[in-house]
Amino acid sequence: MKYVYVFKGEIRRKTPESPHQHLSEVQYRGYFGDVNDVELAMYFFENTLALEKFIVDPSVEFHHNCEDPQKARDRAMLQLQPKVPQGVKLLIL
């Protein structure tokens, strides 16, 4: 299944199919929960065949939002937990 980003009823972007057959762990640094963050996470969920662990680390020294990392952690849990494929462990630092 491809991830399709729909904004106000209009399809804006489809992720290309590029299966990664050997990638088992992804660490996403700088996750703050905006649309692009969710799109990239969904890309990995749908195109990484051997994915076992998806690590979200919102704490970076620089980011345009300059937001509290705890808010980003909470948002990551709400946005990603329901979408994590079966057998993949979601770890939020």
**Per the domain annotation, does 14 fall within a domain?**
no
List Cβ neighbours of 39 (8 Å cut-off, separation of 6 or more). 3, 5, 13, 15
For 59-72, what is each residue's pLDDT tens digit? 765 555 556 788 88
**Per the domain annotation, does 88 fall within a domain?**
yes
**Per the domain annotation, does 15 fall within a domain?**
no
- Cα 37 → chain centroid: 5
For 4-51, what is each residue's pLDDT tens digit? 555 555 555 565 667 788 899 999 998 888 888 988 898 899 888 899
Q: Which domain holds residue 45?
A: 20-92
Distance CA(64)–CA(46), nearest Å, equals 27
**Per the domain annotation, does 48 fall within a domain?**
yes
Of residues 63 and 89, which shows the higher confidence score?
A: 89
Distance CA(53)–CA(55), nearest Å, equals 6
**Per the domain annotation, does 5 fall within a domain?**
no
**Per the domain annotation, does 3 fall within a domain?**
no
Of residues 60 and 3, which shows the higher confidence score?
A: 60
Of residues 46 and 55, which shows the higher confidence score?
A: 55
Q: In the chain, how many domains are there?
A: 1
Contacts by 33-36 with C-beta closer than 8 Å and gap 24+? 33/72, 33/75, 33/76, 33/79, 34/65, 35/5
Structural element, H or E, at residue 79 = helix 69-80
**Per the domain annotation, does 64 fall within a domain?**
yes
**Per the domain annotation, does 25 fall within a domain?**
yes
